[in-house]
Structure 1
Amino acid sequence: MSIRLTDDEAWAAIEAAHTGILTTLRADGRPITLPTWFVVVDRTVCLRTPVGSKKVARVRRDPRASFLVEHGEQWQALFGVHLSGQLRTVTDDTEQAHVHGALDEKYRDYRLAPDAMPETARQAYATFAVLRLAPEGRLLTWDNSRMRPPS
Structure 2
Amino acid sequence: MEPVRCDVPDGPGPLRGGAAPVSRTDVLDRAVGRALSALSAAAKKGLGDAALAELVVLRASQLNHCAFCLDMHLTLAREHGVSERQLDLLAAWEEAEGVFDERERAALALTEAVTVLTECFVPDEVYDTAAKHFDDGQLAHLIGLVVAINNWNRVMVARRVPPGGYRP
Same fold flag (TM > 0.5)? no
TM-score (norm 1): 0.25
Tell which has more relative contact order, 1 or 2 (C-alpha 8 A, sep 6+): 2
> Larger % of strand: which?
1
Bigger Cα Rg: 1
TM-score (norm 2): 0.23
